[in-house]
């Protein structure tokens, strides 16, 4: 059997957006992904559905799997002919034991590549507003382990040289030894007044920073109960944090937001919220799927020339309708003089991307507004096709029928209830670490509520803050007992994010 290949990939420091393009590409191709505690789990979105994903969490001294077991696992999978992605926090060759793993692979004659990652030694200070070099302050920087191999005789750290010969000192894995680090630096000539910061969970919304001097930072660490993982930065550049601190000023910094939208559609919402500084937990409560029986949809498309109006209430409606249109050998030309109505700019944009112009879009994006617009038209005898999801509200076909229209309502797609990351969600709710839950449809609200027992509703959900994309969804949420704090004026993802930002600026 041909031996596989191993990619030693740097996952970056925590912000999943800092993975390299090549790193993401390797994850997409991997048969097996072996990942650490410090590698963001969000990077697993790049994994193939059939990929084997193995957690070998290593946190300080507590290892789920020993290093020797990890080495054996990598070798075993590669010798089985598989492509292995070894995903390591930060950079694999900067205090990541990637060198040791590479040596094992060489000894086993296994082909490998190293994919460098953004190390926390650079990224954590940057996200804390600290440039580790600066022409006015320092021309040198050193990366030092704060946790040397306990089996080594003596120390490899030349304390005298780094204390007085290097401008900026970056210590990794040093929180538990911060007393020894500060003692050695002062003992070998560094001023006790030298500024110091510790950055915990750098580049994530959980980022925490404590500042001090060599003379008092140990006491501050003890008083605050500061825990690993953290990066220690020593040097005059630390003073620039008061001016350059940018990340912690984001409007949603430190907020954990639950996104219940279908995973296939959640990316725009998640990206925007993360850009505002939030940590997003995706708990999709619906999954969009084709109808169980495609015959009614296909028959409507076959007779598409008989209709006067085609009304789309969502991007999904457009997508599934056009998929079947093309599958039947038709294209946009077959729509002829058919007029198109779209609810919302995202739906209109999806039509435009397919070369289709929207004839009617209501000013507010709900069924009642469509009804109001059609009342301006003579709908007597007009044939209207409504490609809709299962469980859609009946107001549109009912009201159009009252206007004299002949309405064909067909199922274009299903909103199926799903459950992902529920254990993590409930654990965070128990710790009171969820700040906001977003709902983008009534289906997401109903399915979210079904995830909890009556006892859990009483204990976990009473004070939950909710943001709803529009008034219909908000009404559904209120009827189910949720307190809705955010409803945008514009019922779009962009409008929802803007409203959330305004809400947190007020509170």
Position of tokens 């006491």? Answer: 219
DSSP bridge partners of 3: none
**Of the candidates 97, 103, 94, 117, the residue with the CA atom closest to the CA atom of residue 9:** 117
Who's near 507: CB < 8 A, 6+ residues apart? none
Residue with tokens 């529009």: 470
DSSP 362-404: -SS-SHHHHHHHHTTS--TT-EEEEEEETT--SHHHHHHHHTT
Task: Establish whether 58 is a catalytic residue.
Answer: yes
C-alpha span between 185 and 215 (Å, rounded): 10
Q: Is 299 exposed, middle or buried (0-12, 13-18, 19+ CB in 10 A)?
A: exposed
**φ, ψ for residue 34 (rounded to 5)?**
-115, 115
Query: Where do we find the tokens 């963001």?
Result: 40
Q: At what angle do helices 493-506 and 267-275 cross, to 10 degrees?
A: 30
Tokens of 71: 């080495």
CB 261 within 8 A of CB 444: yes
Helix, strand, coil shares, percent, the chain, to 5: 40, 20, 40
Active-site residue (options: 36, 361, 379, 446): 36
Task: Output the CA torsion 301→305→306→311 (10° steps).
Answer: 60
Q: Are the CB atoms for 57 and 36 separated by under 8 Å? A: yes
383, β-bridge pairs: 406
Q: Is 195 helix (H, G, I), strand (E, B) or coil?
A: strand
> Between β-strands 58-59 and 62-63, what pairing exists: parallel, antiparallel or unpaired?
antiparallel
- What is the C-alpha to C-alpha distance for residues 216 and 194, in angstroms, rounded to an integer? 10
Q: Are 162 and 144 in contact (CB under 8 A)?
A: yes
Look at the block and give the residue holding tokens 């040289």.
161
Beta bridge partners of 282: 259
Tokens 């006892």 -> residue:
455
* Angstrom distance (rounded) from CA 167 to CA 451: 54
Residue that has been written with the tokens 């199922």 in this structure: 411
Opening angle at CA 449, ends 445 and 452, nearest 5: 155
Residue 336 Ramachandran class (φ > 0 left, ψ -120 to 50 alpha, else beta):
left
Catalytic residue chosen out of the listed positions 173, 361, 435, 446: 173
φ/ψ of residue 159, rounded to 5: -65, -35
Residues involved in catalysis: 36, 58, 173
């Amino acid at each position: 059997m041909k031996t596989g290949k191993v990619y030693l990939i740097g996952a970056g420091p925590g912000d999943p957006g800092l993975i390299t393009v090549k790193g993401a590409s390797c994850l997409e191709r991997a048969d097996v992904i072996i990942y650490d505690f410090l590698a963001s789990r969000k990077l697993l979105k790049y994994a193939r559905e059939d990929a084997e994903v193995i957690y070998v969490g290593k946190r300080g001294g507590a290892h789920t799997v020993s290093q020797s077991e990890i080495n054996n696992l990598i070798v075993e999978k590669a010798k089985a002919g598989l492509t292995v992605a070894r995903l390591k926090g930060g950079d694999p060759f900067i205090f990541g034991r990637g060198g040791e793993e590479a040596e094992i692979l060489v000894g086993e004659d296994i082909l490998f590549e190293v994919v460098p990652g953004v190390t926390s030694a650079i990224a954590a200070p940057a996200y804390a507003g600290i440039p580790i070099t600066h022409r006015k302050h320092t021309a040198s920087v050193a990366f030092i382990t704060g946790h040397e191999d306990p089996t080594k005789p003596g120390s490899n750290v030349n304390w005298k040289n780094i204390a007085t010969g290097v401008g900026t000192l970056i210590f990794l894995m040093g929180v538990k030894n911060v007393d020894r680090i500060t003692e050695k630096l002062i003992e070998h000539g560094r001023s006790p007044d030298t500024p110091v910061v510790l950055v915990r969970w750098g580049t994530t919304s959980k980022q925490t920073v404590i500042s001090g001097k060599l003379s008092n930072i140990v006491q501050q660490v003890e008083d605050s109960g500061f825990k690993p993982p953290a990066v220690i930065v020593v040097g005059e550049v630390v003073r620039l944090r008061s001016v350059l601190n940018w990340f912690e000023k984001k409007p949603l910094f430190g907020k954990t937001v639950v996104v219940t939208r279908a995973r296939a559609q959640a990316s725009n919402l998640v990206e925007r919220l993360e850009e505002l500084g939030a940590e997003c937990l995706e708990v999709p409560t619906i999954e969009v799927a084709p109808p169980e029986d495609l015959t009614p949809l296909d028959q409507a498309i076959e007779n598409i020339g008989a209709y006067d109006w085609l009304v789309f209430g969502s991007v999904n409606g457009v997508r599934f309708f056009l998929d079947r249109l093309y599958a039947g050998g038709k294209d946009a030309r077959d729509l002829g003089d058919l007029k198109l109505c779209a609810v919302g700019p995202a739906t209109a944009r999806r039509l435009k991307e397919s070369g289709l112009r929207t004839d009617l879009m209501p000013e507010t994006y709900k069924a009642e507004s469509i009804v109001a617009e059609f009342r301006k038209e003579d709908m007597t005898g007009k044939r209207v096709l409504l490609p809709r999801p299962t469980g859609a509200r009946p107001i549109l076909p009912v009201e159009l029928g009252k206007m004299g229209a002949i309405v064909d309502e067909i199922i274009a797609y299903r909103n199926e209830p799903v459950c992902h990351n529920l254990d993590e969600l409930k654990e965070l709710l128990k710790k009171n670490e969820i700040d906001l839950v977003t709902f983008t449809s009534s289906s997401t609200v109903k399915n979210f509520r079904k995830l909890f027992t009556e006892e859990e509703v009483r204990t976990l959900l009473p004070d939950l803050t909710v943001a709803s994309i529009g008034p219909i969804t908000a009404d559904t949420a209120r009827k189910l007992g949720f307190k809705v704090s955010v409803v945008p004026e514009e019922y779009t993802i962009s409008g929802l994010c803007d409203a959330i930002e305004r809400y947190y600026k007020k509170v």
